[in-house]
Amino acid sequence: MPAPTHDSRVTERRNPRTVDIDLASPLAIVDLINAEDQGVAAAVASQREPIAESIALIEAAFRSGRRLLYVGAGTSGRLGVLDASECPPTFGTDPAMVVGIIAGGDRALRNPIEGAEDDPEAGAAVMDAHAVRAGDVVCGIAASGTTPFVRGALTRARELGARTLLIACTEPPASMRAVADICMLPVVGPEALTGSTRLKAGTATKLVCNMLTTGAMVRIGKSYGNLMVDLRATNVKLQDRAERIVMEVTELPREAARTLLARADGRVKLALVMHALHIDAESARRRLEEGQGVVRRVVPNAPPPVV
């Protein structure tokens, strides 16, 4: 009788609650997976302090003109690229401000690149290729906590003077902990399908990434209350959203809000300061610079209450 195999990584263990999933009806499969998902938010909440510390590091990087770079392989890499890709349309940022890097390059977003995650030298090389330096924050994403590509990237990032973060869904080995300034470890337990970390681990990772970029962007002034005011009206949907935000805050009719936005070069935040302080666009830019980009430091009143 063969000896049982044990893997120290929680993400690779079998889940005793789903051993009969292959016999389950569609509805039973839904219930099994949903039951597993119930613990994801709690696992993320257990990491509230390291996540908050990471937000502070990222905020400092942004304020000094530096970047956040996500690096991962497979699902983990795709989630980092996804979060980075959402920042320009959501927050009006330069695409270079938050960068997503996946082992195997952009082709790996749609096609598995066998062996890419196993090469620590490639991870190190991609840090050089992206000119990582002091002031940057590099966030490694490795659901299993062991991905060599990510370890190589974090090791090199540290050598270059960057601050390093790790998101993993299991306790990482000492070699990985040693190259991360902060570890965020939402341990969600074994997956419904053994080793399929696109499930609970992927969901937990997405929640953490949401917090990192949203938290840092809010801290540097990308919101006014809970309104996304640093978007730029670059398509029909965003134009409508921009106009509605200006209308809600200023109580102007749509046509007047549209005119104000035009004077503000389509920038909602600028338009709100111009209206509140009765100043032109250039004066509003200067006031926002003095307030480090935070509208509430320039316009102390809160947005109108939610009705």
**Residues taking part in catalysis:** 86, 117
DSSP per residue, 61-76: HHHTT--EEEEESHHH
| Residue 110, helix vs strand vs coil | coil
Largest separation between any pair of C-alpha atoms in the chain: 82
| DSSP helix/strand/coil, 152 | helix
Query: Both tokens of residue 26?
Result: 């569609």
How many whole angstroms separate alpha carbon 79 and alpha carbon 88? Answer: 16
Q: What are phi and psi of 166, to 5 degrees?
A: -135, 130
Between CA 71 and CA 79 the distance in angstroms is 10
Count the neighbouring beta carbons within 10 Å of the beta carbon of residue 52: 13
